[in-house]
Amino acid sequence: MAVRAVRGAVQLEQDEAGHMDEQVGALLTAIMERNELTADDLISIWFTATPDLHSDFPAAAARKLGIVDVPLICAQELDIEGAMPRVVRVLAHIESDRARADIAHVYLGAAAALRKDIAQ
C-alpha cells in the first residue's frame, strides 16, 4: 500500500458557516467517492482557506461527515492580488494501491479553473 496525496478545491458563494459545511462536505465526499476511499484510508488532511473566509474552520465539515479520528489542520492561503476569492483547498494524504497517475483530484465548480491540468 502506497502513501498518496489527493488535491481538491471549491469556491464558496458566500462566507457563511452552513454554506462552508455544505460545500467542503461535497468536496470531501467527491474526493472519497472518486478515489474509492473510506475513512480508514485517510492519513491526514490539510485545509487552506483564502483570507476572506472567516465563518468557520473547513475541517469542521470533515468532522460532521464522520471523519473523527484523522488528523486535520487548517491554515490561511496566501493573500495574492488577483487570486480567486472564497476558496477552500484540500490536500489529503491517503493509503491507496492506485498509481499516482490514477488519483482523482477534485476541483468543484468555479475552482476547476485553478488547476485545469488535473481537475476531474
pLDDT digits (tens, 9 = 90+) for 102-115: 999 999 989 988 87
* 1-to-31, 40, 43 alpha-carbon distances in Å: 19, 13, 12
Is 120 a domain residue? no
Domain that holds residue 78: 2-115
Residues annotated as binding site for prephenate?
A: 7, 89, 107
* 22-to-2, 16, 45, 57 alpha-carbon distances in Å: 30, 10, 17, 12
Is 105 a domain residue? yes
Is 45 a domain residue? yes
Residues annotated as binding site?
A: 7, 89, 107
Is 31 a domain residue? yes
Give the pTM: 0.94
Domain count, the chain: 1
Is 16 a domain residue? yes
Look at residue 120 in the predicted model and tell me its pLDDT. Answer: 53
pLDDT digits (tens, 9 = 90+) for 72-99: 999 999 999 999 999 999 999 999 999 9
| 50 residue type, one letter | T
What CATH code is carried by the domain that includes residue 103? Answer: 3.30.1330.40
